[in-house]
Amino acid sequence: MVVAIAKHDIKWLSPSPVWDKIGDLANKDSRDLFVRPTILRFNKDNFMDDMLSLMAYYPDRLIEWKVRPETWREPMPEPKTAARLSPIEPRSTFKKQQRRRLESQQKSKPGNASVEIPVSDLIPDKLLKLYQPAHQRYYLVTASLVCRKRGLPDRIINTGNQEKVSFVLRRLVPRDATTKLEACTPELCDEYAFVQTDNGLQWRNVSQDELYDVEQLMPDEERLPMFSIGFDELNGRNRKLVAGFIPVAKREAYLGAQLYSSAEDAAEDGGVSSPDAITSSKREAVQALFEQLVAAPWKAMISQAANVWEGILEGKSKNQPGDDGEKGKTALNANNVISEERGKIQLISWYLLLDMADFLEKYLPKVWHALFNPALKSGLTDAEEQFYDAMATVTINAGSYCTDNLFINGTPNRYINNVKHGTAYAQADFKTSLIAALAAVKGGSPYDTAKAKILADQLENNDIPYDRSAGDVKTTWPAFLFPFADPLKTDPLPNLAIPAGIDEEPDISHAKIDALTKLMAAAITELKTEAPELLTFKEMDLSTRDGVFVIRCAYERPNCGPFNPPVLSKPSEVFEMASFFDPDAPGRQIRIPMPLDISPAGLRKYNKNAGFMISDMLCGKIRNIRKITFGDLVLSVLPWPFHKDLPTPSKTGPCGKPGNSFGMFCSLSIPIVTLCALILLIIMVTLFDIFFKWLPLLFVCFPLFGLKGKKS
């Protein structure tokens, strides 16, 4: 015998308290409001108390909290019922009914009728923008889960049977490039689900998916929690609605997520895919790590060195012809500048060599061992050999770095083979190739793990500033030189091919570094270790600046089998999320109390209750810059002709004596520091206003009569 079980549909609708407020369902706008979730807006930090009080005493006024477009200049009208909400107290059903009757009697009196909101006002005429909790705005998505039978009763959610209600956030992306984001609707744009993958949360196109449609939950789609709230209708009938908090503060996480890649998942699940697709994401991650550790600092050094050289030439060109005294002074200053800049570059180059060596040892071990034993080069793949050969072309001419005088008869002189000006190193101390330098930073050939660790620890643990002119510099720092850049524009990659269309320095060197990076990435065919997790990313597939979203509520019954799939609601209204510094965002009232009585007698009362620790090295740096005055700081930010560079602090080590250094514990009073910061801010902004006239848009003060530092 087969028993037929009567079934009825389960549907998501707008919250039942708003049904009689949205007008005739023959109107399309009213039908749209009826079948989709409703977003409520609150502007108080205790919004949940307001929501519970509203549903306990005034559920029929819920429509007043429906979100509408607003800015801080034109805020959304405050609900009329908001002033009547009170904290929830335990009350009997009889007390609630009494209050309802009293409310009904008050409404029947002339002039006390509740203000009805026209349906046209509930349909936004422009794109909704939801603001963050930092803007004192909170949003709840609300809906009713009902059975499609007479009276539309609430569907009972059997949590004991693992039934669950939640909501999902979907992103809309225009199908056509001509469609503006503001005009995006589910009819004109593709809907993307936020799904969990092995590469993190990603956006997966639901509209174009072959197995799913927009009214189905995607596998591993992010579900946001919802909760139910019970309330009594005016006729005494008990009902429920479900609500969920919209996490607008996660805007950057939603906008920064990548597009879902089905090819990578198929490869990781054992599907058929090309070798490139299998390791493409990991290769990109390792390439990004190489760019972060090696390529980017290398480019920065080249740019900084070029800027120093251009500054020297610019300073020389300002001297009058025939003024031999000024020429000599300029040459001497240039020598000092070049010498100091070369010291900075060499210091960074040692650490760059160490990072590059560690990188090769970890991700390209065969190439790494071939650096110490060229006989192993025969065992490299074609891509690894190309990268090895490219590194072998990174060489420097030691003679070009050994310059005693920069100017001869007013002409720049770059190549004088002499001991370098003001340094304890000689020309023989240079490593002329990148391969030799990489081997040297790990202790030299043959490779010895113990020697490599000693030299690495020497670099990692050194707390004494690098001084090239010191006699014992080779005992405290590496005994070899290999600068990755030089102010005299010597090219550290002379034999690498220049990519087409690049003919300006330092763009040529930057392009060569990029070419070397690509050769490195191509050489990675297998990984003995995991790719860096935080760097597994692709080029941004979606805009990280703007995005529009909709919400769908979901009802799931996992124990009811495949014939009872999850029930999704219609999409909510389209909205965007405001950034933290959105110019339209409402602003909290922030008041920073300042000390009133700033006489010595008043300031000494403030407790020094804020403390911080200063290491011995930081202590030395702080002591180093004490000679910089407030006047120096002001002049350093002023434009020509008032500008003056900050004085160069003298070189010093940690506080205390070598082997007996010490740190410090300092305590201060935050109110007094805030007062000093305010005075400094006013001075700096006022100085800027001499040249820029935007001060009235930034800083506003109002007179406050009667506020005195000393009590009368």
Q: Write the DSSP string, 569-617.
A: PPP---EEE--TT-TTS----------S--SHHHHTTS---EEEEE-HH
Residue appearing with tokens 């609150």: 42
Structure letter (DSSP) for residue 558: G
Q: Are 216 and 565 in contact (CB under 8 A)?
A: yes
- CA dihedral (119, 120, 122, 128) in degrees, to 10, reads 160
Q: Are 281 and 199 in contact (CB under 8 A)?
A: yes
CA distances from 115 to 63, 68, 313, 443 (A): 11, 17, 76, 83
Q: Which pLDDT score, from 0 to 100, does residue 241 have?
A: 93
Q: Which pLDDT score, from 0 to 100, does residue 29 have?
A: 84
What is the number of other CB atoms lying within 10 angstroms of the CB of residue 13? Answer: 23
Tell me which residue of 398, 395, 390 sits closest to 496, measured CA to CA: 390
In angstroms, the CA 601 to CA 671 distance is: 15
Give me 33's structure tokens.
């409001």
Q: Which pLDDT score, from 0 to 100, does residue 13 have?
A: 94
Q: Rg for the chain (alpha carbons), in Å?
A: 35
CA angle centred on 59, ends 53 and 62, rounded to 5°: 95
Q: Are 459 and 511 in contact (CB under 8 A)?
A: no
Give me 81's structure tokens.
């019922």
Q: Which residues pair with 38 in a beta bridge?
A: 142
H helices within 116-203, ranges in order? 119-122
Which tens digit of pLDDT belongs to each residue from 624-643? 777 777 777 778 877 777 78
Environment class of 672 (CB within 10 Å of its CB; exposed 0-12, middle 13-18, buried 19+): middle
Q: Are 79 and 61 in contact (CB under 8 A)?
A: yes
Give me 675's structure tokens.
């007062």
Q: Which pLDDT score, from 0 to 100, does residue 323 have?
A: 43
Beta-carbon-side half-sphere exposure of residue 672 (alpha carbons within 13 Å): 15
Environment class of 461 (CB within 10 Å of its CB; exposed 0-12, middle 13-18, buried 19+): exposed
Which of the residues in the chain have pLDDT under 70? 1-8, 90-91, 96-97, 100, 103-116, 120, 262-281, 313-333, 399-423, 471, 489-506, 527-545, 648-652, 695-696, 699, 702, 704-712
Q: Which pLDDT score, from 0 to 100, does residue 133 have?
A: 95
Q: Are 301 and 485 in contact (CB under 8 A)?
A: yes
Full-prediction pTM beyond 0.75? no
In angstroms, the CA 494 to CA 395 distance is: 7
